[in-house]
Structure formats: C-alpha cells, structure tokens
Structure 1
Amino acid sequence: MSSVLDNACKRAVSPGTERLLAGMTLAAAGGINDEKLEKEDFLAAYGTFQLDASSEPFTTKTPMWFASMTKFVTSVAVLQCIDRDLFGLESPSDVDRLLPEWSQPQILTGFEDGQPKLQKARGKITAGRLISHTSGLAYDFHPGLLLQWRQSRGEGPRAMRGTIPDVFTTPLLFEPGTGWAYGPGHDVAGLMVARANNCTLEEYMRENIFDVLGMDDTTFEPRAHNGVAARLPPMVGRPLPDEPLSDETASLNNTRNLMLDHKDQYGSGGLFSTAEDYLKLLKSILRNDGRILRPETVDTLFTSTMSPSSDVALNTTLTNPAMAAAMIPGEPMVGSPGTGHWTHSLLGLISLTAKEGGLQAGWTQWGGAPNLKWWIDRKGNSCGIFATQLSPPGEKRHQQITHFFQQEMATRYGRS
C-alpha cells in the first residue's frame, strides 16, 4: 500500500472533530495478468467500532449491513436460474407463472381531484427489467407520484415494512422497458428465484453462491446465522456536512433495524456481509472462473440493457443532486463539469467514462446506503469494495478515500 492511501485512511479515523469515519474495511483483487499469474488480494481495515478510540477495532471480517450491495448477489441468482432454464430473462409468461401479483400491472399517470389516475400497462414486467430498474416499479419513499399515491390511501411509505407482495404491488410509473426508476425490482426478482426453487432466498443463495465461494458471514438472517448480529458495529452519522460525527445521529439506524427484524428476505437490501466475503464474489465474476455462472452468462452482466428512453431517464435521474450523491458517490453529478455518461446492465451502473489515473471506461459499480461501494473493472483487471457504516447515504467528506483506493488498486492490478 502506498503512503498516500495509508496516511489518508489513518487520518480519516483519527479521533477528533475532523474524524471522517469510525471504522472501514477495504478489499480488492485482480484478475489474471498478462503472465497468467494472480497477484495477492489486498485487505486492510482501519478504525474502531465506535468513536471511542478504545472500542473494538474494525477488521476485514467485521460484518456490516450491506444494504443495496445485496442487488449484485440477487442479479447473480437470477442469472443462475436462467442458466438452469427455470425462467427466462425476458419472458412475461414466467412472471405470470411465478409472480401473478405483478402479471397485470397498472401505470400511475397522475391525480385528478386528489384521486389517482391509473391505466393498464401495455408492456409486461420481466426478470431482466426487474434487475435493471426498467420495470416501472419504484420505491415509495422518494418524493413523487408514488408517495402521493400512498398518501391518497392514508398510508405512509411501506417499503421493507411487510412481505414483498404486501408492500411492492404498487402501480408502475412508466411502461415497462421505457424508463428507469430506482426501485424494488430486486426484491421481486428475489421472490421469483425463491418460488422457482421452492425455498427461501437465503436457502437458495447459501447452496448456490455462499457455500460455493466460502462466504460464511453473508446472510439475510443475522440473528440466526453465525452470530452475525452480535458482531455488528453501530452506525455513526454526520447530521450536517460541517458537523462532527456522532453515535446518536445515524439516520439509517431505523432502516438497518428493519433488516435485522425483517418481514421478508429482501433481494434489494437485506444482506449482511463482510468485505472479505464480498470480495470472493467480486473475484469470481471478474475472473469469470465458472464457479457460479457460465462464462458466456458473465459477459451478459456487463452489457447495457437500456433502451434509448431508459438511458435518458437514468442520466436525468443523475442530474438530481440527492440521487447522484447516493447512486454515484464521489463522481461528478450528470450535467456538472467533468461529468460522464452512465448506462445500466443487469449488474449495476456502467460508467462510459474513464477515471483519470484509475478505472477504465466500462467499469461497473454500485453501492449501499451506509456508504459502501463495489466496483469491477474488466478492462483494467481490478475489483474491490469499500465498506463502512456511516449515515447519511452519499456523505461527501470521506469520498476522497474511495478515490485514492480505486486509483491505487487500478495501478496495483492493471495489466502491463
């Protein structure tokens, strides 16, 4: 590790009013280099569980709530089922068969005299549209039509507060395949996986992903599996950008508690894991080793699934400062100086712009609400994860750490 990265990480967790993080873990790996050799994985941890410097140290085996990092794993599970002919990627009939609650969707077009205006969708939901956020489903906690629809029914946001069929059979916001909206598609797709295999999503992933790769600390059931819940660090928060960190102001605590005592196994945000565990999955996909997916299937994970109108909708979403901060933390907001263009695959966001001194155009990434982030750069031959438990999502002051980390790993593992 270079002194630049090491010193930046040490400063970030140094006690005092300028402390950026309580604790963090970094893990990265390369693919096969030009000499067909594998360089050693990079693993590092800094800081402590609490802001109290005498509390337990963070390690690369520290479990955390991984939130939307779950989506990567659910996408892999969906593609496994497609490989096994359990359902098709773009088959509406399989949605009708396995997800009848979503077989006849309606589109919310607006309101008249306070009442929602609904029309029958002409298009159909498919597994591929669910995991690329182009199905028309959206979360009900974002300001907009769907939150207004909830309020018209005398309800507040219900995402993650019941079973998947109970809380996510909401109207669509657009015709399937024609737009883009961040939403619960992976929750519904995870239910599709569970029903196709007549088991829970946890049981499916443990047999077909976690046990195969040795991901022993990854689970939807942290209170029941391997003592994960008892080993979780608390969430810390920065209430305002210029205020110091606090153990008492972590706004994500309530959401994490919903995941600890969940009503269902949410394929979009329900997993708890460690940096070491998650790196095993990233490596398998980067190296296309055939352990969990067919090599040709892995290629499809990195191919844009977007229609022209969906692509426009995605990049329009990324002009919103709040959405950009959460979805592409540390990257220029679309429409600002230095911005790039983004598209979306079955796995995550694809940047069509190279990072100076770092990742190459075509790198793929996603993150998790407590300021976690993963990436895979197939051209540049690296993958990695930055993990912490920090609120709010998209907190800006620590983002330079992830930039240094990615830049150094791109150099460490890059092909000669």
Structure 2
Amino acid sequence: MASFEDRVQKAVDARDIPGIVLLASDVNGNFKYEKAFGPKTPTEPLGLNATFILASCTKLMTTIAALQCVERGQIGLDDPVSAILPELKEKEIITGFNEDGSLTYRKAKNEITLRHLLSHSSGLGYHTMDPRYHKWRKERGETFFIKGWSIIPRINTPLLFEPGTSWAYGTGLDWAGILVSRLNKMNLEQYMQKYIWAPLGIKNITFHQEDHEDVRKNLTKMSIRKGLENPMFGFPVRSEEKVDWTDETLYDIPIADEYGGEGAIGSATEFFKILQSILEDDGKLLTSETIEEMFSPQLSEGGVKALDEYNALPFYQGGAFASVQNGTKVTWGLGGLLFLEDYFTGRKRGTLTWSGMASWTIDRETGICALYAGNMLPFGDFASGDMQIKFEKEMYARAVKRSML
C-alpha cells in the first residue's frame, strides 16, 4: 500500500495539486512533521524555506495583535471602536431595494466593538462575496479591483446587518489592523515585528515583500487550475484539469497599505511558530486567560445560524478547501472557526482553524497543530481540499501512535 508521502508526491508530480509544504507537531515535542513536496517554480523544487501568500492566515496574527492591545488596557473587547476608527461611527446598513432597484439603507443602532471586528459579527462583509456590494459600488460609479486601491476606500463599506446580530466573513480584521496601528502609533508591519515576530524568532514574514529579499526570492510561484472561466478569483469546480503556472501576484508590489485580514507573505515554517506558541500556551504572545478567550464561542444565536448557512452553501458542501461538513456544530472564536464537536479528520471539540492560501489547525484537546501551505488560485480548490483532509487525518493518526510509544 502506498504511503501518504507517495500519494502526495504522485499528486504533485501529476500536477493534480501544486507544490505544498506540510507541517505538524504536538504540544510535548514528541511528534514533529516537516516536508515539502513538488515545485516552487517551473525550474525550482520547493523547500521548507519557501514563502507563500498567507492571505487570510494573516487574520490570526492580527487577532493576536489586537488581543495584545486588550491585555495592555488600550481597548476592551466590548468597547466601541469608533473613537479609534471614526470611519465606523454611525454606519448605514443595506436593508433592501427600492422599486427602481436602487439600494435602501438605515442607520445602525448598535456600535461596532472590537469583538465584532475579530469575530466577523460587525456587519462588514467582503465585496467579492456579496452582490449587494457590487450594486453599491455600481451606484457610486465605482469599479472594484483587487489591486490598485488604498485600504480605506476598499474596506469602508456599508454594513450587511446590525452589529452583533449575525455573521458574515469580511473586512473586520483589516479594520482591526488599522486599529492596532493607530493605538500604537506604528504601522502594522512594525507592530508585528516588535510584538509577534521577534519574540518567536520569525524573520521571513512581511506585508512588504518589496523590502524583504529573502521573502521575495523564496516566494512560491502562483498556480491556477486549467479550464476555469475565471481561474484567478472565480469559484473552483471539480474537474480533471491539471494545475498550471500563472504570473498573478495577487497583491500590488510595492504595496502601500498593510491589510490585517489578508496581506501577509511569508515562510510556512515561521508562521507555524505562531501556531505552536498558542498551542503550547508559552506566554510569548498572549496570556493563558486571553488564549482561553480565543477558544471560546463568540457569536450570538443569529451569528451561529448565519455561519451554518454559509457552511451549507453548495460550494462548501462540494468539498472546497478547508470546508466543513454540513451539520457540524461550529461557531467563531477569536482568530478562526471554532468546533463545538469532534470532527472526522481527528479534530476534537474546541479546535480552532481557518485557511487562506494555507490552512491551519490548533487542537488543544489532542495537543496538535498543523499547517497545509500552497499557492493556489482560485481560493477553495477542491483537489487541494481533498489533500488537506488526507494530510490532517494522517497527522492525527501518526501523532496518536507516537504518543502511545
């Protein structure tokens, strides 16, 4: 029977999936897995020092940064953020449509708090994920692009619901990054360097690859799935088409703004140090009390319902990357999706997880953290999702076996 490594190697050799870096460890240091598979570029193999577009994995780092501000007493989790982010004061909510098709609005009654920003319960969504924003941009005479926008015009949108009453994946962590920057009178890069990366010995994560040669030269070339109508930013489909290379860079280079929700680029092995620090509760980033809050449910009943509806969409139930099987009891913690029951991959109740171009898992019950890293567009690639599930199941099996020796 072929080993797990043989199956992964076969998949990358056949270009069923792009090159990937796989990392896992347990809390006691008894189990550790580090392996790179496949190519970094058409002419170079992938190594453990390879860097990746971290995309929404950035949200975990920004969450940690914001929680550090809470620990210092600079702001409370349930404090309104409008004193620091006046752009979010008295926001309007999109409520529907007039007879002529134009949007209708009303003023929000609730103020947006830091907890709302960190748990996607502020009412702020993503332009690419909600057609109401497409309509809103059109009524303003704007054409939205991923590149070429400064951060405030890009993320300063109306709300989709009353803050604290529902859930929508969106720009809350970008706003949280701005909040951290303003509170500490330094940009987000400087903040993370001082308070997150340096304490863990991390040197190869940045928002500005133009200023970091090691990050730039080790960046894994982006891959796309052949045959898709919109291979960059559309939705993936299940097909037998292979992976191809693209010159797409995803972000502006150089980039002026630091997006706390999606903007980091860096080494998978160095990002993994953050997962290990949280798993081990080593005190280098956050106190035990704050980590406990990260792994606690954050959503209202309406928020859980909206999250369940999101997970039940056909796209995710089709096996999209890092999707959740329909009916699984989940909520949102601070930093990621929080499981309220055991999961078939091996995750235990209380596991925190999320994905970007990579997918990460922190399971405090079992004492395991894992990271699957690859540069693949569009987001949610099905074949990558299949392999990530196989990887996670394999890591749990090996870690448990190791603990029994």
TM-score, normalised relative to structure 1: 0.89
Please name the residue that 1:257 is paired with.
Answer: 251
Change (3 A) 1:226 1:294: farther
CA distance in 1, matches of 2:353, 2:184: 29
CA distance in 2, matches of 1:289, 1:72: 17
Kept in 2: contact 1:12–1:398 (CA 8 A): no
**Alpha-carbon deviations, 1:256-300, whole Å to 9, x = none?**
133x33241000000011121011000000011101101111110
Instruction: Tell me the secondary structure at the aligned position of residue 78 of structure 2.
Output: coil
**Alpha-carbon deviations, 1:6-41, whole Å to 9, x = none?**
111111111x4xx22231101111113xxxxx2253
Please name the residue that 2:19 is paired with.
Answer: 23
Greater mean alpha carbon deviation, residues 400-409 or residues 66-75: 400-409
> Would you say 1:363 and 2:362 are equivalent positions?
no
Kept in 2: contact 1:29–1:382 (CA 8 A): yes
CA distance in 2, matches of 1:156, 1:326: 31
Please name the residue that 2:266 is paired with.
Answer: 273
1:194-213 equivalence runs, <5 A: 194-213=181-200
User: Which residue among 120, 129, 133 is the counterpart of 2:120?
Assistant: 133
> Would you say 1:69 and 2:57 are equivalent positions?
yes
Instruction: Tell me the secondary structure at the aligned position of residue 60 of structure 2.
Output: helix
State the one-letter code of the partner of 1:23: G
1:19-168 equivalence runs, <5 A: 19-32=15-28, 38-50=29-41, 52=42, 55-92=43-80, 95-112=81-98, 113-157=100-144, 161-168=148-155
Please name the residue that 2:233 is paired with.
Answer: none
Kept in 2: contact 1:329–1:396 (CA 8 A): no
Greater mean alpha carbon deviation, residues 140-149 or residues 119-128: 140-149
CA distance in 2, matches of 1:106, 1:221: 33
State the one-letter code of the partner of 2:245: D
User: Which residue among 335, 343, 349 is the counterpart of 2:337?
Assistant: 349
CA distance in 1, matches of 2:340, 2:156: 34
**Alpha-carbon deviations, 1:86-134, whole Å to 9, x = none?**
1111101xx1221011111111112212432121100011111001100
State the one-letter code of the partner of 1:108: I
Kept in 2: contact 1:29–1:279 (CA 8 A): no
Structure 2 unaligned segments of length 5 or more: list them.
228-238
Please name the residue that 1:9 is paired with.
Answer: 8
1:268-347 equivalence runs, <5 A: 268-322=261-315, 329=322, 331-332=324-325, 334=326, 339-347=327-335
Shift of 1:157: 2.5
Kept in 2: contact 1:69–1:373 (CA 8 A): yes
Kept in 2: contact 1:24–1:46 (CA 8 A): yes
- Give the root-mean-square deviation of aligned CA atoms: 2.0
How many residues in Structure 1 have an aligned counterpart in Structure 2? 390
**Alpha-carbon deviations, 1:130-171, whole Å to 9, x = none?**
011000001112242121111111212256643332222211
Structure 1 unaligned segments of length 5 or more: list them.
33-37
Change (3 A) 1:59 1:274: same
- Taking every aligned residue pair, what percent have the same amino acid on both sides? 32
Kept in 2: contact 1:71–1:267 (CA 8 A): yes
Shift of 1:318: 1.3
**Alpha-carbon deviations, 1:363-397, whole Å to 9, x = none?**
221001x3x10001111110010001112211112
Instruction: Tell me the secondary structure at the aligned position of residue 383 of structure 2.
Output: coil
